[in-house]
């Protein structure tokens, strides 16, 4: 429940990156030793992937709330828990990791947020190029290889998931793998840095071409996950949306450039420091045009939050989704709160209104949920948000962090 109208003020510390954690934890399957992973966010998706690995025989200990110790040496390939796998998108990283370690994987088609069709043809193309035979049987993907051999792979679509999955499978393949047209998101660099810290030979992460020289021996070690770029962006947008003044801490400002640039364009003041950013909002904000793109473009995972902000901007805005077929499910919830937004295909046309009004709304998906929370923080009156389970998949204690910034927000029930 959110009672809107209070400018957010103060400091907030960002957690470790969800989309890095859900790749790095299964990557530990490749490691013949103990991995200590720091700055792990305390979110539902991490709990699920930890549960999956434990079920399969990994020994996983929480050294503290944010530090995981993973020993996957005794993991067994034939015990995949398909029910658990269905709960999250990133369970498909188990295909790359298990294929890399055992040359065989048996994984359920993934779940996650509903953005229309979410094909994995590019993951499969990569596995096949490395020598695997991949088939689907009753919603289960079975990938098998006698051995994996490095090769050249060109991805037809820039895909975060395919890039990560092919890195996982190729890390221990024979010879060298070159992957072209890869995604460049910070969590891809983070995964490569983690694997390299364990002894892998991966070059070029963060550019369009990644080269992997296969190695058989990955040893344990300690690694700290990067801060969550999307959680940081969510607080930055919330600060601007409420006309507040918030220092967002524990971040890598370089990762935030596209979001910072848009916030400056709408009229907010953004000041960068070494590992934090201050956002000072002015009201009203100005309408802008945005197209979401793969990194370093404006992130699709920030689209609902910025649309919530633009719903009260002066003038009109046009937001085009450039990554997913369908990512405007949450717009109906903003409209219930008084927003004037019209969606045509992959574009939202927004005519700014003077204010939003509190209403009962739903978190339709993870980032859509963040968008309606921001709308609630701006709105007059009380907004009740249901289906928070989507939000909990990717944000750690979101209501507590907003409350510490002065928001009138509380969780009524689990």
Give the active site residues: 113
A 10 A CB-CB count for 63 gives 11
Other beta carbons less than 10 A from residue 413's beta carbon? 6
CB 397 within 8 A of CB 261: no
Residue with Cβ nearer ligand EPU (359 or 398): 398
Residues that bind ligand EPU (CB under 6 A): 19, 22, 89-90, 113, 118-123, 157, 159-162, 183, 300-301, 323-324, 366-367, 394
Alpha carbon 143 to its chain centroid, in Å, reads 25
Sheet harboring 209-213: ordered strands across? Answer: 152-154, 176-180, 209-213, 201-203
Q: Which residue is nearest to ligand EPU (CB)?
A: 161
Comparison of 48 and 113: residue with beta carbon closer to ligand EPU: 113
User: Would you call 344 helix, strand, or coil by DSSP?
Assistant: strand
Cα–Cα distance for residue pair 78/339, rounded to 1 Å: 51
Parallel, antiparallel, or unpaired for β 382-386 and 360-362?
parallel
Q: Which residues touch 413 (CB under 8 Å, ≥6 apart)?
A: none
Nearest distance from C-beta of residue 152 to ligand EPU, angstroms: 18
Nearer to ligand EPU, 260 or 303 (CB): 303
In eight-state DSSP terms, residue 253 is: G
Distances (CA, A) of 400 to 172, 205, 388: 42, 35, 14
Q: How far is the CB of 367 from ligand EPU (least distance, A)?
A: 5
In this structure, what token pair is assigned to residue 32? 């013949």
Shorter beta-carbon distance to ligand EPU: residue 60 or 88:
88
Q: How far is the CB of 18 from ligand EPU (least distance, A)?
A: 6
- Residue 345 Cβ vs ligand EPU, minimum distance, rounded to whole Å: 14
Query: Minimum CB separation from ligand EPU for residue 409, in Å?
Result: 21
Measured distance CA(151)–CA(172) in Å, rounded: 13
Of the pair 281, 303, the CB lying nearest ligand EPU is at: 303
Q: CA angle 295-253-399, nearest 5°?
A: 90
């Amino acid at each position: 429940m959110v009672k809107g109208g209070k400018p957010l003020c103060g400091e907030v510390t960002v957690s470790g990156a969800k989309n890095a954690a859900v790749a790095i934890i299964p990557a530990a399957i490749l490691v013949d030793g103990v991995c200590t992973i720091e700055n792990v966010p305390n979110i539902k998706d991490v709990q699920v992937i930890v549960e999956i690995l434990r079920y399969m025989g990994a020994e996983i200990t929480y050294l503290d709330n944010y530090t995981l110790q993973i020993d996957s040496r005794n993991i067994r390939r034939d015990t995949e828990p398909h029910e658990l796998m269905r709960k999250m998108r990133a369970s498909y990283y188990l295909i790359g990791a298990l294929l890399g370690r055992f040359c065989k994987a048996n994984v359920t088609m993934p779940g996650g947020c509903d953005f229309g069709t979410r094909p994995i043809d590019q993951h499969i193309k990569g596995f096949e190029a490395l020598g695997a035979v991949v088939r689907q049987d009753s919603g289960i993907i079975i990938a098998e290889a006698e051995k994996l051999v490095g090769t050249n792979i060109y991805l037809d679509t820039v895909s975060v998931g395919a890039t990560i999955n092919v890195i996982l499978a190729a890390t221990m393949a024979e010879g060298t793998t070159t992957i072209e047209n890869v995604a460049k998101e910070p969590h891809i660099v983070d995964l490569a840095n983690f694997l390299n810290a364990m002894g892998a030979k991966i070059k070029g992460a963060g550019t369009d071409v990644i080269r992997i020289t296969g190695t058989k021996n990955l040893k344990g070690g300690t690694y700290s996950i990067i801060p969550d770029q999307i959680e940081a962006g969510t607080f930055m947008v919330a600060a601007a949306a409420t006309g507040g003044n918030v220092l967002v801490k524990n971040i890598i400002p370089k990762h935030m450039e596209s979001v910072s640039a848009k916030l400056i364009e709408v009229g907010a003041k953004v000041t960068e420091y070494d590992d934090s950013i201050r956002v000072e909002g002015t009201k009203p904000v100005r309408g802008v045009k945005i197209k979401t793109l793969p990194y370093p473009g404006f992130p699709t995972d920030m689209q609902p939050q910025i649309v919530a902000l633009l719903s009260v901007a002066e003038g009109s805005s046009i937001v085009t989704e450039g990554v997913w077929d369908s990512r405007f499910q949450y717009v109906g919830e903003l409209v219930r709160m008084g927003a004037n937004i019209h969606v045509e295909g992959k574009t939202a046309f927004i005519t700014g209104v003077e204010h939003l009004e509190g209403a009962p709304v739903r978190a339709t998906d993870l980032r859509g949920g963040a968008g309606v929370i921001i709308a609630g923080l701006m709105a007059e009156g009380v907004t009740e948000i249901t289906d928070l389970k989507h939000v909990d998949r990717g944000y750690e204690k979101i209501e507590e962090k907003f409350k510490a910034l002065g928001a009138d927000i509380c969780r009524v029930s689990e």
